[in-house]
Amino acid sequence: MTSPAKLEITTPSELEIAMTRVFDAPRALVFDAFTMPELVQRWLLGPDGWTMPVCEIDLRVGGRYRYVWRRERDGSEMTMTGVYREVAPPERVVSTERFDDPWYEGEAVVTLFLAERDRTTTVTQTMLFESRETRDAVLASGMESGVERSYERLDEVLAAQAATARR
Amino acid sequence: MELSGYGAAAPERLDATFAALANPTRRAILARLAEGEASVLELAEPFAMSQPAISKHLKVLERAGLISRGRDAQRRPCRLEAGRLAEATEWLVGYRRFWEQQFGRLDALLEELKATPKTKPHPPRARGDDR
């Protein structure tokens, strides 16, 4: 692709976060990349230094999935599991999402929607949370100004630290 | 699905870290400590604040693991604990940043898949809706 596609993040309702992104590939391919374990494991790796050693997907209504991420440095792990509620390839998948070591309250319901146009695919992922507080907390985990600014501050602090160390 | 705040560190520890960072004076203290360790007096100097007020901020930073204090009873120099900062930022890269990174990899994978049309899709029965 010539330039990175833009990721749009919106809040369609008080309980939701929606993410939209265009991919330069036909819908069937994008659907596979989101639903075949051997493909998911090649891109949904988490931050640098993490891998996804476990990716189990039983893609049918009532079927479960289980994703495990591992930090190579110290072996710490993160597990996400859920159940499929709707499976309509190559257009739509609805599933629940929950973390073993939860960083947000309860369970979210995630709708993956794929629309194809001119051999490109627009992916919309909508997360529905149990409360507005939870939704807001997820947003605050970085997307919005507060923590994002803290993060930039951290960058500055770390850069200063590195500069000092070099002196 | 969402992965931004996927705290590898214990969530309550991250809470403490980010609560500590939510204050401009404390961030300024951290920036000062990034240049090297300093005593409470030295830290209080650039701020129009009393030493006890600065000490309160230092306690918050210390509880959050962002700084440590020296043993020297007189001076108790403060130093930055950069490891905690790195830990807090590793997963808290932000919702957008996190997904941009994942999707960037997905772009590359899709390019590869397009170039190798033999990739087998799901067998139809395995992906069918049971209803």
- The answer to whether A42 contacts B109, with C-beta atoms less than 8 Å apart, is yes
Q: Does residue A12 fall inside a structural domain?
A: yes
Both A124 and A158 in one domain: the answer is no
Both A149 and A96 in one domain: the answer is no
Question: What pLDDT was estimated at residue A162?
Answer: 54
Q: Does residue B38 fall inside a structural domain?
A: yes
Residue % of chain A over a pLDDT of 70: 78
Q: Does residue A164 fall inside a structural domain?
A: yes
B121 vs A: CB within 8 A: yes
Both A148 and A91 in one domain: the answer is no
| Mean pLDDT value across residues A87-114 | 90
Q: Does residue A1 fall inside a structural domain?
A: no
Q: Does residue B74 fall inside a structural domain?
A: yes
Question: What pLDDT was estimated at residue A146?
Answer: 36
- The answer to whether A103 contacts B94, with C-beta atoms less than 8 Å apart, is no
Domain of A120, CATH number, reads: 3.30.530.20
Both A157 and A167 in one domain: the answer is yes
| Mean pLDDT value across residues B16-36 | 84
Question: What pLDDT was estimated at residue B101?
Answer: 87
Residues of B in contact with A155 (CB under 8 A): 89
Number of domains, chain A: 2
Distance, CA of A8 to CA of A19 (rounded, Å): 6
- The answer to whether A157 contacts B105, with C-beta atoms less than 8 Å apart, is no
Q: What is the least distance, in Å, from the CA of A43 to any CA of chain B? A: 5
Distance, CA of A38 to CA of A58 (rounded, Å): 13
Number of domains, chain B: 1
Q: Does residue B128 fall inside a structural domain?
A: no
- Give the tens place of pLDDT for each residue, B63-97: 988 999 987 777 789 998 877 776 666 555 566 77
Question: What pLDDT was estimated at residue B87?
Answer: 62
Question: What pLDDT was estimated at residue B123?
Answer: 53
Both A31 and A113 in one domain: the answer is yes
Is pLDDT larger for residue A95 or for residue A136?
A95
Quote the Cα angle for A99-A101-A106, to 5°.
50
Both A152 and A100 in one domain: the answer is no
Question: What pLDDT was estimated at residue B126?
Answer: 46
Both A81 and A55 in one domain: the answer is yes
pLDDT at B17 over 90: no
Question: What pLDDT was estimated at residue B72?
Answer: 72
Is pLDDT larger for residue A47 or for residue B60?
B60
Domain that holds residue B65: 11-93
Domain that holds residue A149: 131-167
Is pLDDT larger for residue B88 or for residue A125?
A125
Q: Does residue B60 fall inside a structural domain?
A: yes
Question: What pLDDT was estimated at residue A154?
Answer: 47
Closest in B2, B90, B106 to A23, CB measured = B106
Count of other CB atoms within 10 angstroms of residue A63: 17
Domain of B86, CATH number, reads: 1.10.10.10
Secondary structure letter of residue A4 according to DSSP? P
pLDDT at A62 over 80: yes
Both A76 and A90 in one domain: the answer is yes
Both A136 and A126 in one domain: the answer is no
Residue % of chain B over a pLDDT of 70: 70
Q: What is the least distance, in Å, from the CA of A73 to any CA of chain B? A: 12
Which of B36, B25, B40, B21 lies closest to B92, judged by CA?
A: B21
- The answer to whether A142 contacts B93, with C-beta atoms less than 8 Å apart, is yes
Q: Does residue B81 fall inside a structural domain?
A: yes
Q: What is the CA radius of gyration of chain A?
A: 18
- Give the tens place of pLDDT for each residue, A1-52: 445 578 888 889 999 999 999 999 999 999 999 999 999 999 998 877 889 9
Are A157 and B109 spatial neighbours (Cβ–Cβ below 8 Å)? no
| Mean pLDDT value across residues A55-75 | 94
Q: Does residue A3 fall inside a structural domain?
A: no
Residues of A in contact with B36 (CB under 8 A): 164
| Mean pLDDT value across residues B119-125 | 53
Both A74 and A144 in one domain: the answer is no
